[in-house]
Amino acid sequence: MSQPELPPLLREQLARYDQTQQNLQAVMVQKQQVELELGETEKALEELGKAVDSEAIYKFAGNLLVKVQKDSVVKELTEKKELANTRKMVLAKQETRFRESLKDLQSKIDEAVKVRPSQAQPPGDA
């Protein structure tokens, strides 16, 4: 015996749930990448803080290793850190919204499924 076809509204809610779940996963992956980048940047700033101003500082520029001024690298990394923190906050807000949306969709789907069985039984089969 085949399954009865789902109502269009329920199909739409299930599709939105799946899409929201995929979006949540993508945001979580991005957030994790930003957190890793942030950790690396903080570690680099920490090491630069230990370095004496007269020490040679090098950074990668494509395939090259280039000697740079400590203060310019500190400034660049500080800006990168601020940007990463901002991006992390934005992603955290998106994650929260997606989680709330999933919770809302789940309750709507649960409600639709509860109502559906009573409508699916033909009268007199009870």
CATH number at residue 39: 1.10.287.370
Beta bridge partners of 61: 64
Here the tokens at position 51 are: 């370095």
Residue 121 has pLDDT above 70, yes or no: no
User: Which of 49-53, 98-102, 121-125 has the weakest average pLDDT?
Assistant: 121-125
64 forms beta bridges with 61
Q: Is residue 3 part of a domain?
A: no
Mean pLDDT, rounded, of the chain: 90
pLDDT category at 118 given cuts 50, 70, 90 is low
Q: Mean per-residue pLDDT for 5-15?
A: 90
How much is the average pLDDT of 9-32? Answer: 96
How many domains, the chain? 1
Residue 90 domain boundaries:
8-115
Asked whether residue 124 is domain-assigned, the answer is no
pLDDT in the model for residue 1: 46
Domain assignment present for residue 2? The answer is: no
The pLDDT of residue 126 is above 50 = no
Better-predicted residue by pLDDT, 11 or 119: 11
**Residue 108 included in any domain:** yes
b/e sequence 32-60, b meaning 16+ C-beta within 10 Å: eebeebbeebeebeeebeeeeeeeebeee
> Of all residues in the chain, what percent carry a pLDDT higher than 90?
75
How confident is the model over 30-44, as a mean pLDDT?
A: 98
